[in-house]
Structure 1
Amino acid sequence: MRTYASKYLLAGLLVSSLAGCNKFDELNSNPDTAVNATAPMLATRMILDITEKSISTQKSFIQPFLLSKSMIWTEFAEDFQYNYLGRASFDAMTILTNVEKMKSYTVEGPTRNSFTALGNFVRAWKFYEQTMRVGDIPYSDAVKGEQNVISPKYDTQKEVFAGILNELDQADKLFAAGVKFDGDPIYGGDVTKWRKAVNTFELQVLLSLYKKTGETDLKIVERAKDIVANRPVFTGNADNFQLVYSDKNEQRYPFYKLGNPFTIYPMVSDVLISKLKTLQDRRLFYYANPSPVQVAAGKAVSDYAAYKGTDPAMVYSDISKIYTSKDYSGLNSRYTEMANAEPVFQLSYPMLKFMLAEMTLRGWITGTAADHYNEGVKAALQFVAGNTPDNADYHHNMKITDAYITTYLASDGVKLAGTTEQQIEQILTQKYLHTFLHAPYNAFFENRRTGYPAFPINTASNENTPADKMPVRWLYPQKELDYNNANVTKAITSQYGGSDNFNQQMWLLK
């Protein structure tokens, strides 16, 4: 009897506990919170993953620009500032497990076309980011853990790029057959704007392959011609693939002062400032603040001479001395004082125009390179002026006006001229100036691709080996070495002769 009594007493307590637990769950449920995922919810998460999460905030927001030598960090010596790339991570790829789920939550038809197209675009974006860092990566077997593929094989970089291009082609077709969809914080579900973003991004991918036009099966030039002639691309700054900020929690500009202890550490690099000064480019007065030492000595805030860039390759102890002296230019106050300082773009209309100018010079497309270039420069200047209030603290009485833009474009240093190579350098320089605090890592990849603009190297501070060279790639993730060793080792051997180091030339660069 005691045994049975104990058993039934225990069962009764268990039922009572479960009932209480159920009631507790009911009492503590938020009726305004979704219980089940939906396609729009997953769409929002993926779009923000490749924008908000990639852009990051505070110190992490600045770090990519240390690598591209437009910014300097003074808190302590930063790896990117001194060219140590470290190991890549594939952790960010897990977001792609939501692509199939997002499609499955919609019925067949135009709405599913839109969500499927978005999935193709996000996949292409994420795989492009990873292969640009390391070379060969898992692609055809990637993110298949739910199918019990826990050790994915590596595809060659060529195969990865072929897949990326095909996914972008498919995304354009599906968006064309789609309808407006929910869950989009960038374009409000406008499929025409998404087609423009997809095709503009595909042109960027194609241009990154400019050394591989001999790979006829990729049809690099043919694809570029077709996009320019037959598909929608960006037509103005209103099409930019960007985040727009506001003075609301978690929606403020990434380097805004609220809760940001790092606003005191950035310097603006001489790589950027010297180019702006040489071109008499008024973006200097919007990007930086004057040196307080120079202002105290009598220079006006509207005087180019009041702005002092610092060599980003200088040894850290010397940078610290300059920081202590205060004789340097820091970030313009608008970046820290305005919660909605300016949108941050990943891809922009001026970037597109610079790409088209370069493609024209390389003979990929017909037209006039100078026309694309001039339109790109004009739109780049309008972006800065249009997103900055008429406040002397933010433009230092050197406003970018329509009259100034006309004069700037006609100036000798800005007009597209010289040999083809000199013109390409001009185009890449203008792209560099335009992407200051935008499109993280783009300037580094463009320098790696073309050598423009040149980055200073100091053997006394460079953490790369050899110390007279910039690194060109990240190392493979430690997790791959730990859990997918056979496949990553095979990839390292086939690409780099078994040496996973920062200076090995991936297929893309050969």
Structure 2
Amino acid sequence: MTKHISLIAAIAIGLSSCTKKFDDINTNPDKATSASSEWLATNILTSVTSSDISFNNNFRQPYTLGKYIGWTEKVSDYQYNKMVRVDFGRLLVLRDVAPMIKNATTTELKNTYDGFGHFIRAWQFFQTTMQVGDIPYSEAIQGSTGVIQAKYDTQKEVFQGILRELDQADSLLTNGVNFSGDFIYSGNVDKWRRLANSFQLYVLINLSKKTTDADLNVINKFKTVAARPLMRDFKDNFAVTYTASAGYAYPWSNTAAQLNSFLDYPVLSSYLLDPMKATADRRVFYMAEPSPAQISAGLTAADYNAYLGIDPADELGTIVTNNNTGKACRVNKRYEQMYNAEPVGLLNYWDIQFILAEATVRGWISGTDAQTYYANGIKGHMNFLANYAPASYAHGMALDEAYINAFPATVALTGSVENQIKQIITQKYIAGFFQNSDYNAWYENRRTGYPVFTLNTATNLNTPASSFPLRWMYPQKELDYNAKNVTKALTDQYGGNDDPSAAMWLLK
């Protein structure tokens, strides 16, 4: 026995020695043992922005659901209101937030990355809850602590958490320092603070049906946040700028840097074109190519009547026929021919001005009249187009300073509160074309009913066909691996049915 014990001990020592030698030989002394805060910030920001904005066929999906375009290749689910299962994959990047903060080299940077992290968390949880309702929040992204089946928080609790995190972001960024790893604002902490506050206004306007909820205190909260520093012009847009490199070019472009084989399929809708035609809005010339049939009939590309919109609710055969006979408009060639057609914003300066205009019309804030905010939103978008789109793509109807300054008065807010909200959302909708890729336009229609989309029971793929859908369905992976919690969420909200037609808490 003694011999056996001695032999085992000798073998163990030998194995330990071999393992140590193996580890020493195979350890790269130049390799970092932890990721830097800067690298993690870049990875987080890439996931939230450029990776979240899809390319080519997938890029058009939010604009198909938002009825900006019709699709002529085949029946498109989103065009005809068929909702699919989402996933919660956007939440995975939040695992990088804690180490990003921890690895910061100074106290000031730690606080700054903490503020940035709270904004990112608020952004990702907001996008997720807007799709389905109740989601994991308080127990989300805690697999390292053993929580692998996260409970679902109510949508109200999620919104409360989002608002708290955005307050924390404002507080931390107020005393923050410029930081590295940021390709949107080059680490400018003031711009990040303005974005966090501007985003909080967007969150609050989406709670417009919850103004009587004392816990949320939406109106007073809006007043408080509206007094903080906000976006000042389109240079503060939360936007991705593109370059002439594969994977980094404008998402709809077809250039030497990037191919796009889907250019022939989209045609522009009447919801986008008709309001601009009716008000002699020159932005139509920056967004569309004229109808070939109208040009053949003798109209010029500078004539508003040369632009014909289709109704995306029409049967596919009707839309294809209109397109084949030249009675439809394709998107402006600049989106195809320029690798840097324009930055794609996830939240833009003009969005915030339209939100402030709506809040003023609703009586939430005072001091500046709604028309001023409304005009700022329109001019902000027009100035953006004039800055990024060469005049050669404007069909002889370029936006100039005199036109931009005069135009808002021609579409001035008027009439009842409801009519003014309709006008504001219409202008926000126009400015959202090929922007706001996180389905903002569809959310606005869901919240306000504007623009008014056609409900065609013959083509509507929603069930029942007599109504529009209001949400996506929960992820299959949640049903497979977190069934107890997602089933409870479905029972609490929708009577146990994962029904796209059922209204979430936010909409009641």
Counterpart of 1:368? Answer: 369
Counterpart of 1:121? Answer: 119
The one-character-per-residue Cα deviations of 1:472-508 (angstroms, maximum 9, x if unpaired) are 0111111111111111111111111112101111111
Unaligned runs of 5+ in 1: 1-7
Name the CA distance, whole Å, in 2 between partners of 1:486 and 1:357.
Answer: 43
SS at match of 1:196: helix
* TM-score, with length taken from structure 1: 0.92
Name the CA distance, whole Å, in 1 between partners of 2:247 and 2:447.
Answer: 35
1:423-502 to structure 2, matched below 5 A, reads 423-440=420-437, 441-502=439-500
Within the alignment, does 1:383 sit opposite 2:403 as a pair?
Answer: no
Name the CA distance, whole Å, in 2 between partners of 1:90 and 1:208.
Answer: 21
The one-character-per-residue Cα deviations of 1:146-195 (angstroms, maximum 9, x if unpaired) are 11101100000000000000000001111112111000000011110000
Runs of 4+ displaced beyond 3 Å:
33-36
**Aligned-pair CA distance for 1:53:** 1.7
Counterpart of 2:5? Answer: none
Counterpart of 2:407? Answer: 408
1:233-312 to structure 2, matched below 5 A, reads 233-257=230-254, 258-312=258-312
Counterpart of 1:134? Answer: 132
Name the CA distance, whole Å, in 2 between partners of 1:426 and 1:45.
Answer: 39
Residue type at the aligned position of 1:342: E
**Aligned-pair CA distance for 1:468:** 2.3
**Aligned-pair CA distance for 1:108:** 5.2
Counterpart of 1:399? Answer: 398
SS at match of 1:458: coil
**Aligned-pair CA distance for 1:133:** 0.7
Is 428-437 or 212-221 further displaced after alignment? 212-221
Counterpart of 1:341? Answer: 341
How many positions carry a matched residue from both structures? 490
Residue type at the aligned position of 2:408: L
Residue type at the aligned position of 1:347: L
Name the CA distance, whole Å, in 2 between partners of 1:275 and 1:34.
Answer: 56
Give identity over the alignment, percent: 45
SS at match of 2:50: helix
**Aligned-pair CA distance for 1:320:** 2.1
Distance 1:34 1:81, change over 3 A: farther
Counterpart of 1:5? Answer: none
Name the CA distance, whole Å, in 2 between partners of 1:315 and 1:489.
Answer: 36
**Aligned-pair CA distance for 1:390:** 2.3
**Aligned-pair CA distance for 1:143:** 0.7
**Aligned-pair CA distance for 1:34:** 7.0
C-alpha RMSD of matched pairs (Å): 2.2
Residue type at the aligned position of 1:199: N
Name the CA distance, whole Å, in 2 between partners of 1:163 and 1:407.
Answer: 42
Is 246-255 or 202-211 further displaced after alignment? 246-255
Name the CA distance, whole Å, in 2 between partners of 1:294 and 1:34.
Answer: 63
**Aligned-pair CA distance for 1:249:** 3.1
Matching residue within 394, 414, 417 for 1:417: 414
Name the CA distance, whole Å, in 2 between partners of 1:280 and 1:53.
Answer: 36
The one-character-per-residue Cα deviations of 1:300-359 (angstroms, maximum 9, x if unpaired) are 011111111111011112222223223310010000100010011111111111000111
* TM-score, with length taken from structure 2: 0.92
The one-character-per-residue Cα deviations of 1:276-296 (angstroms, maximum 9, x if unpaired) are 111111111000001122212
The one-character-per-residue Cα deviations of 1:76-115 (angstroms, maximum 9, x if unpaired) are 1110010011112112211111111111111451101111
**Aligned-pair CA distance for 1:260:** 1.3
**Aligned-pair CA distance for 1:214:** 1.3
Counterpart of 1:232? Answer: 229
The one-character-per-residue Cα deviations of 1:239-285 (angstroms, maximum 9, x if unpaired) are 11111112233221111103211112111111111111111111110
Distance 1:67 1:34, change over 3 A: farther
SS at match of 1:52: coil
Name the CA distance, whole Å, in 1 between partners of 2:181 and 2:232.
Answer: 24
Residue type at the aligned position of 1:281: D
Within the alignment, does 1:210 sit opposite 2:211 as a pair?
Answer: no
Name the CA distance, whole Å, in 1 between partners of 2:59 and 2:350.
Answer: 22
Matching residue within 76, 83, 99 for 2:74: 76
